[in-house]
Amino acid sequence: MTKTVEEILLQDNYSKEDIIRLLKSDVRERNLLYAKSAQVKKEHVGNKVHFRGLIEFSNICEKDCLYCGIRKSNKNSNRYNISDEEILKAAQFAFDNKYGSIVLQAGELTNSSYLKRIENLLKEIKKLSDGKLGITISLGEESIDTYQRWFDAGAHRYLLRIESSNKDLYYKIHPADENHNYENRINCLKNLQKVGYQTGTGVMIGLPFQTYEDMADDLLFMKDLDIDMCGMGPYIEHEDTPLYNYKDALMPLEERFNLTLKMIAILRIIMKDINIAAATALQAIDPIGREKAIKVGANIIMPNITPGMYRNDYALYQNKPCTDEEAEDCAGCMDARINLTGDTIAYDEWGDSKHYKRRRGDII
C-alpha cells in the first residue's frame, strides 16, 4: 500500500520510495513538507543564518565538466586570476563586516606553485583576522597531502560537490577521462573527512537524464557519507557547454527550482543538524530564491564578495545574479533579505556544523 505524504512526514527516517513520493508532492503536500522541515531546522540549528563571504578568485580551470561555463575548453570565457592583494582585501572586508567566515572558490589547478600560493593565502588570511575568520575552501580534487597542507594552514571546511551520486549520470555530465573520475571524487571526500575538515558535498538538480530516483539516491548518499554540510542547487544550462545540446530535454526552470527546495527540506529532516547552504543558483531563477530556501531548511548564505569587475567572468551558468554589484552593495542588501525570512543573521560567528561537532563528540 502506498503511503500518503502525511504518513511519511510522521516518520523520521525515509526510505528511497518515501523520498521519491515527497519529491513528487503537489502544492498542498509540499507545504506540509516545508512546515516540518522548518520545524526541524528551528529545533536543531535554530533560526539563525550564517554568512560565508564568497571570493571567486580565479576561473582558470584544468577540468572540462560538460555543464560548466568555465570549463577548460570554453574559449569564450574571459580568464582572470585575482591578485593575492585583492583577495586579502576581500577577506579583510568580510572580517570588518563581521561575516564570520569566507569561502575561497576557484577553477581547479594542481601545479605546485598554485598549491603553495593557496597555502600562503590561507596563512595570510588567518593572520589578518588574528585567527578569527573561518575559512571554507572549494578548490576541487587534490591529493590528501595537499588537503592536509591547506588544513594545517588554516582552512577548516571544504566543499566538494559529488554533482551526481549516480555513476552512470556522473559520466554523462563529465568527459570520460582520467581527470573526471567518479571513484576519485568519492575518495577525495573521504580524504577530506580523514584530514578533519568539516566536509560538504552537494549535487545539481534538474540535470538532463536525471530521474527522481537519482535525486532520492543523492540524499541517501549524503546521509550514508555522513557529511557535515551541503550546497545543492538547480542546474542552469550554459550555451558554451556541451550539455547545452540537451536543453530541450530539461524540465522548466521553475520545476528545477521547486525540486531544489524539496531536496533541501528533505535533507534537513533526514540530517537534522548539518549546515545547508542556500545556493546562489536559486537566485538566478527567483530573485528571492535563497530566502525561500532559508525558510524551508537552509541556514547558510554565501554573499558574493568577489571584486565587482571579475564577477561577470565567473559564469558557471548563465543569468548569474548580482554580477554588477560590489561587496559593499551586497552587505546592506543581505541584511534586508534575511529580515524577510524572519531568521536573524549571526554576525561574527563561525557557525560551524553542529553535526561535525556531534560526530566528533564535542557536543552531545
- Interaction site with ligand FES (CB under 6 A): 61, 63, 65, 68, 70-71
The half-sphere exposure of 63 on its side-chain side, counting CA atoms within 13 A, is 23
The residue with cell 576581500 is: 90
Q: Are residues 169 and 207 in contact, defined by beta-carbon separation less than 8 angstroms?
A: yes
Q: Tell me if 67 contacts ligand 5AD by CB under 6 A.
A: yes
Answer with the entry of ligand FES, ligand 5AD, none that 135 interacts with (C-beta below 5 to 8 A by kind): none
Q: Are residues 134 and 302 in contact, defined by beta-carbon separation less than 8 angstroms?
A: no
Answer with the entry of ligand FES, ligand 5AD, none that 238 interacts with (C-beta below 5 to 8 A by kind): ligand 5AD
Quote the Cα angle for 202-173-163, to 5°.
5
> Which one of 118-126, 141-149, 228-236, 329-337 is the stretch in contact with ligand 5AD (CB under 6 A)?
228-236
* Residue 224: CB minimum distance to ligand FES, A: 23
Rama region for 226: left / alpha / beta (φ>0; ψ in -120 to 50; rest): left
Q: Tell me if 95 contacts ligand 5AD by CB under 6 A.
A: no
Q: Tell me if 316 contacts ligand 5AD by CB under 6 A.
A: yes
> Which one of 41-49, 141-149, 234-242, 249-257 is the stretch in contact with ligand 5AD (CB under 6 A)?
234-242
Can you tell me the distance from the alpha carbon of 286 to that of 279, in angstroms, rounded to the nearest whole number?
Answer: 12
Q: Tell me if 49 contacts ligand 5AD by CB under 6 A.
A: no
Q: Which of 157, 149, 101 is nearest to 125 (CA)?
A: 101
Kindly state the cell numbers that stand for 108. Answer: 581547479
Q: Indicate the residue among 265 and 281 with the shorter CB distance to ligand 5AD.
A: 281
Can you tell me the distance from the alpha carbon of 353 to that of 360, in angstroms, rounded to the nearest whole number?
Answer: 11
Rama region for 297: left / alpha / beta (φ>0; ψ in -120 to 50; rest): left
Can you tell me the distance from the alpha carbon of 290 to that of 341, in angstroms, rounded to the nearest whole number?
Answer: 10
Q: Indicate the residue among 50 and 63 with the shorter CB distance to ligand FES.
A: 63
Q: Indicate the residue among 4 and 245 with the shorter CB distance to ligand 5AD.
A: 245
Answer with the entry of ligand 5AD, ligand FES, none that 61 interacts with (C-beta below 5 to 8 A by kind): ligand FES
Q: Which of 245, 250, 256 is nearest to 285 (CA)?
A: 256
Residue facing ligand 5AD at closest CB distance: 317
Residues 6+ apart with CB under 8 A from 54: 102, 103, 105, 280, 302, 303, 304, 305, 306
Q: Which of 49, 104, 236, 267 binds ligand 5AD (CB under 6 A)?
A: 236
Show the binding pattern over residues 256-285: x = contacts ligand 5AD (CB under 6 A), - = does not. -------------------------x----
Give 178: exposed, middle or buried? Use CB within 10 Å, 0-12, 13-18, 19+.
Answer: exposed
Q: Are residues 276 and 228 in contact, defined by beta-carbon separation less than 8 angstroms?
A: no
* Residue 70: CB minimum distance to ligand FES, A: 5
Q: Tell me if 314 contacts ligand 5AD by CB under 6 A.
A: no
The count of other CB atoms within 10 Å of the CB of residue 177 is 8
Q: Tell me if 317 contacts ligand 5AD by CB under 6 A.
A: yes
Answer with the entry of ligand FES, ligand 5AD, none that 104 interacts with (C-beta below 5 to 8 A by kind): none
* Residue 107: CB minimum distance to ligand FES, A: 6
Quote the Cα angle for 250-253-257, to 5°.
120
Binding-residue total with ligand 5AD (CB under 6 A): 12
Show the binding pattern over residues 181-220: x = contacts ligand 5AD (CB under 6 A), - = does not. -----------------------x----------------
Answer with the entry of ligand 5AD, ligand FES, none that 63 interacts with (C-beta below 5 to 8 A by kind): ligand FES
Q: Tell me if 293 contacts ligand 5AD by CB under 6 A.
A: no
Site residues (CB under 6 A) for ligand 5AD? 67-68, 161, 163, 204, 233, 235-236, 238, 281, 316-317
